[in-house]
Structure 1
Amino acid sequence: MSYEERVLFFAAFAKPGKNRAQKNSANKLRLFSVSFIFLLFTFYLPSGAKAVSIDQQLNIPLNNGTQGYAREDADRLLRLGAQEELRGNLAKAIPYWIQALDIYQQLGDRQAIGLTYDYLGLTYARLGRYFEAEDALRRRLAVARDQPDFQGQIYGLNNVGTVLLQRGAVQAASVSFSEALRIAQSISSQAGEGLSLSNLGLAAANSGDYLQAIKRYEEALIFRRRGKDPLGEANTVNNLGDAYLALNQYRDAQISYRGALRLGRQTRDRSTQYRAIDGLVVIYSKLRQYQEGFELLDRRLTLAQESQNLRQELESLRLFAQLYQVSGNPVTARTFYQRAITLARTLGDEQEEALLLNNLAQIRIR
């Protein structure tokens, strides 16, 4: 693979609503737990969409029979959906892409159909709608197999495996990743091998086998560096940091996260930087080096505000509140919770608002 996922910075924080609610209601104040980190997954677009604009992705040869007003309308809808996604309005992006998909199917444009299924599947996953995500991504995989598109199959299998991981089907996910690795090896795709090995490491980590995960990540880094894939490398290095953190090897984890943060800055990829910062904040919280954590969260908040990403701004405010809470400063923690609650209301996220109100109320009880 040549680039990481396009705009699914998620990512990095796509947590199943049910699981998150259970953790908050338990209110153990495991504010920066490793279990939180391992709910982070990354998806991929084989078209190199992170560094390539949608216009370039949709630059279909003029003789393929799909140009015209209908095609222009579908492309416009795809762009509108992408704009909503970039703003963090995931649910608003989906209807645009469904309309675009319908037009592409009428035109018989397989390339655009595959791309649209990618966007739909990845966004469904971020919303926690995993069955819909798996359905869209399997359809995208079928398009790749029909063409045949071996690169598309590699990334399709990895995306399907990632959704299976989010559903807790670790064994099935490992099978999907292993099949992707076999195809990548058969066509000598260093990018595909790096991606598949990295995901096999993630599967091992989700099984609690962190030593095996570290082994897989280190193997993956060889191929990702050979393929000159800095975003792929950064994702694997972040994963490596997670595994070291799970083993309480804070020094190695810190080195990994700082390496990922550096790569994120070089590539100007905010999702990579969010993940690396959050991992470092976990470490500083555990080591009670709170000032370092606050400085990183200030950088995180600035990143979110610069991109006008309200969802990540909300996440930054919540993490600020939690860190102030564990550092023994309930007054400032309340201030950040109140700011986060206001922003949750702006986003219309009633579940997040309820969780934040619960956290705020417990500070007042104490």
Structure 2
Amino acid sequence: MKVCYTRVIVFWIMVIFCCYYGAHAQYVAAVESARADSPTPVPVNSQIEALLQQAKSSLDEDHEQAVKLSERALKLARASQNNHLIAKASYSCGMAYINQNLYVKSENYLVQALEYYARTSPPDSAAIAYTLRELGNLEKGRSNYTQSLNYYFSALKTFQQLGDSSEVGYTFNSIGAVYISLQKYEKSIEYLKKSEAMRLQIHDRRGLASTYNNLGISYSDVGKNDTALHFYLETLKYCQEIKFEKGITLSYNNIGHLYYTEKDYKKAHEYYDLALYEARRLNLRSGLSAVLVNLADICRDEKKYSQAIKYGNEALLISHEIADKKRISEAYESLAKIYQNTGQYSQAFDFQRKYSLLRDTLYNEAEARETSNMEAQYQSQQQRKEIELLMQEQKITDLELHKQKNILYVYTLAGTLLVVVVFMLYRSDRNRKQRNQELAKQNDEIRSKSIEIMLQSDIIRTAHNKITDSIRYAQRIQESILPMQENIMDVFPDSFIFFRPLDMVSGDFFWFSKVGNEYIWVAADCTGHGVPGALMTMMANTLLNQIVNGNKCTEPAQIICDLEKGIRENLHRHGAADDQQNPDGMDLAVCRIDFQTQTLTFSGANRPLYHIRNQGFTEIKGSKFSVGGMKALTDKIFENHVMQWQNGDCFYIGSDGYADQFGGKSERKFMAKNLKQLLLQIHAMPMPDQGKKLEEAFFAWKGSFTQTDDIMIIGFRM
């Protein structure tokens, strides 16, 4: 017998060593392959980095120099065969060409940068996100707004994963600007508000100036001029704080135009004059032309025609000097209207003709650009497919390397376990006969007892089935008294009820009714769960029907007081001694909603109301007393809390079962603070989707733990 086990052990040790060396050889080959693909430093690296830094410094001042430096760096990078440097140089070329509005060339270089960033090991996620964002800027410049949003959202996802708050705020602002161009102002304001929150958090004043300017444009375009003025003034304040002179000039012009649209010509002149002064001082030629056209328009409306003509002619002269066709077109149109108002129809006709010709030219150029854009879009789609294939190949390489490591670990562990198992089998075999003898004796005893247990099991099973059938019938009764969710959805279509009893019957229940023009919500958590809790819910449901539907009581605090009295009477509790012997009761939240006055009145017995408006979270706490319990009614005070709700406000009530659920890696309760954070994160979703998210989060947290208590959360949006 010993000889047999020795042969087995020797055989398996040989197998393990063979596997080990095979896996080790594969692992070494994979590592060498990965090293062969990684970029190798070359002596010209520092020279390339220096050229790229010089190109970056030249972007705003000398576009041609930026192109030359970037192209030179790219040539050296290709010679070095360093994927990361080729990607950086390609990105620099793309940025240089985008500043010259050469969108096709810029796109080719940026897509090439993406391709080489994807080839690096590991891929440079931050650099890929920057490149995607610049492609978004490029497509926005070409008015390809859908493609622009695709790039922005891809970049945003990566920036959020990297935790880069500055770039997240920037990208939110860019998305908001695209929605302005699409005239989807609700969406633009949503993303600009997110940008504002992020930039306030990191004190990004330059970024806030840009975000507030876009918010001003959004509100101005929807006719909310007071709000637009607020944001334009905020933009001006931040530009002045950081001494951003071009931004100050733009803000003056925007504020002046806002006053002009409201026909407050005095205020409009005040800000236009400030913008004119700054534009002349800073030699902002295009901006100066725009301000002069605005001044010409306001003087025309004030019938100051000579001054209007003076401003219009100066705007036209400057526009010709800088060869800005858009500004020339604006000046032609303004002068045509001025001469028409003065009755000088010959001059008016001449300028109108020039305006129409230039407008047609601009339109034809736009059509040509659109054709070029379509061709470039086809090319970029092909390039993006190549990039996706390259990234997929990189992932496969990484997975293969990881797989080789895992093989090595598994073989080593399996070999160790196998040796241990063989040794244990050898030892156990020596004791097998002795144990078999003992087991044979025990089997006789077990056989005789098993017959007795089977008989008892049949008795218990029969009793259990009867009890289970009774409880299941009680479950149907309890479910039948709960409000029908179809009726609730008729009144509150955007709502959810996440209701998950611990047992077949629940100690939690919800109640809903209409009295006149008012709707009453109740979420109650009775003492205990299962059958005892369910009995309390039946009694409470009956009392609520009597108090609200019968007595027409709709004041939440009074409903709770009347419920307290009814429970004490039904449970025959008339003094402190009864309270100690029978402490049953419930916690609950009561809401009354009036759609005519747009008010919500809340009162709670040891349960709160959560209210979310936009990104603001408010908790309205109930009284620190339960209904019933061990404290006399005379010692309890329940208060009404009245609030004016707005469309889009979210409200949540429920029991404490969700927050008290044990789970997670730390094996602790979920806690109310985490529930609040979760609700704030998902509140913008439709309410049915929020209910699903709560359910998913609950099971993810609970994991293998058993459910702790009945669960109930009700959410509704006004």
Under a length normalisation based on structure 1, what TM-score does the superposition of the two structures give? 0.68
Partner of 2:269 in structure 1?
Answer: 294
Q: Distance in 1 between matches of 2:263 and 2:53?
A: 50
Tell me the equivalent position of 1:335. Answer: 310
Write out per-residue CA displacement over residues 100-146 of structure 1, whole angstroms, 9 at most, x where no aligned residue.
2221112225545533432321331xxxx544444444445556555
- Does the 8 Å CA contact 1:78/1:116 hold for their aligned counterparts? no
The DSSP-based 3-state class of the residue aligned with 2:303 is coil
- With over 3 angstroms needed to count, the CA separation of the structure-2 counterparts of 1:217 and 1:64, relative to structure 1, is farther
CA change 1:208–1:364 in 2 (3 A) is closer
After superposition, residues 57-206 of structure 1 pair within 5 angstroms as 65=44, 82-84=60-62, 93=63, 95-108=64-77, 110=86, 111=88, 113-124=90-101, 129-142=102-115, 145=118, 148-206=123-181
Cα distance in 1 for partners of 2:113, 2:279 equals: 31
CA distance in structure 2 between the aligned counterparts of 1:339 and 1:155, rounded to whole angstroms: 41
Cα distance between partner residues in 2 of 1:198 and 1:74? 27
**Partner residue of 1:365 out of 340, 353, 372:** 340
Shift of 1:83: 2.8
Structure exhibiting the larger radius of gyration computed from Cα positions: 2
Query: Structure 1 residues 348 and 174, CA, compared in 2 at 3 Å: closer, same or farther?
Result: closer
1:262 deviates by: 0.8
Over 3 Å counting, the alpha-carbon distance change for 1:362 and 1:158 in structure 2 is same
Structure 1 residue corresponding to 2:281, chosen from 306, 312, 316: 306
**Alignment-mate amino acid for residue 114 of structure 1:** Y
Q: Is the 8 A contact 1:164 1:173 kept in 2?
A: yes
AA matched with 1:253:
A
| Identity of matched residues, % | 16
For residue 169 of structure 1, report the CA deviation from its aligned partner.
2.7
Distance 1:96 1:83 in 2: 9
Which has the larger helix fraction? Answer: 1
Q: Which amino acid aligns with 1:98?
A: V
Aligned 8 A contact 2:286 2:324 in 1: no
Farther off after superposition, 301-310 or 327-336: 301-310
Superposition deviation, residue 166 in structure 1? 3.6
Unaligned residue ranges in structure 1 (runs of 5+): 1-62, 85-92
The 2-side partners of 1:257 and 1:214 are apart by 14
Would you identify which runs of 4 or more consecutive aligned residues in structure 1 move more than 6 Å? Answer: 70-78
Pair 105,134 (structure 1): closer, same or farther in 2 beyond 3 Å: closer
SS of 2:100's equivalent in the other structure is: helix
CA distance in 1, matches of 2:191, 2:304: 41
Once the two structures are superposed, residues 270-289 of structure 1 have per-residue CA deviations (whole angstroms, 9 ceiling, x without a partner) of 34334433332232011111
Of structures 1 and 2, the one with the larger relative CO (CA 8 A, separation 6+) is: 1
* Offset at residue 96 of structure 1 (A): 2.8
Conserved 8 A contact 2:315-2:331? yes
Q: Indicate if the aligned counterparts of 1:74 and 1:103 stay in contact, CA closer than 8 A.
A: no
Deviation at 1:267, TM superposition (A): 1.6
Counterparts of 1:264 and 1:275 in 2: how far apart (Å)?
10
Match of 1:265 in 2: 240
Unaligned runs of 5+ in 2: 1-41, 78-84, 342-718
CA deviation string 1:70-110 (max 9, x = no partner)? 998887777666435xxxxxxxx3x3333222211122255
Given the superposition, is the C-alpha separation of residues 341 and 261 from structure 1 closer, same or farther in structure 2, using an over 3 Å criterion? same
Q: Secondary structure at the match of 1:123?
A: coil
Other structure's SS at 1:83 match? coil
What is aligned with 1:318? 293
**Farther-moved stretch of structure 1 (73-82 vs 295-304):** 73-82
CA contact (8 A) 1:321 1:336 kept: yes
Distance of 2:54 and 2:195 partners within structure 1: 37
Aligned counterparts of 1:167 and 1:278: Cα–Cα separation in 2: 25
Q: TM-score, normalised by structure 2?
A: 0.37
Q: Any idea what the Cα deviations from partners look like across 1:256-300, whole Å, max 9, x if unmatched? A: 111011111112223433443333223201111122222222222
Alpha-carbon spacing, 1:227–1:155, altered in 2? closer, same or farther (3 Å): farther
Aligned-residue offset at 1:341 = 2.0
Sort the Cα spacing of 1:268 and 1:136 in 2 relative to 1 into closer, same or farther, 3 A: farther
Contact 1:160 1:176 in 2 (8 A): yes
String of CA shifts for 1:197-228, please: whole Å, max 9, x gaps: 22222333333331222122111111112222
Indicate the structure with greater strand content: 2
Deviations along 1:216-246, one digit per CA (max 9) or x if unpaired, are 2111111112222211111111111111112
User: Is the contact made by 2:296 and 2:334 (CA closer than 8 Å) also made in structure 1?
Assistant: no
On the 8 A contact 2:165/2:198 being kept in 1, the answer is: yes
**Structure 1 CA distance, aligned partners of 2:278 and 2:233?**
17
CA RMSD, 1 decimal: 3.0
**Structure 2: how far apart are the matches of 1:186 and 1:73?**
31
CA distance in 1, matches of 2:184, 2:329: 35
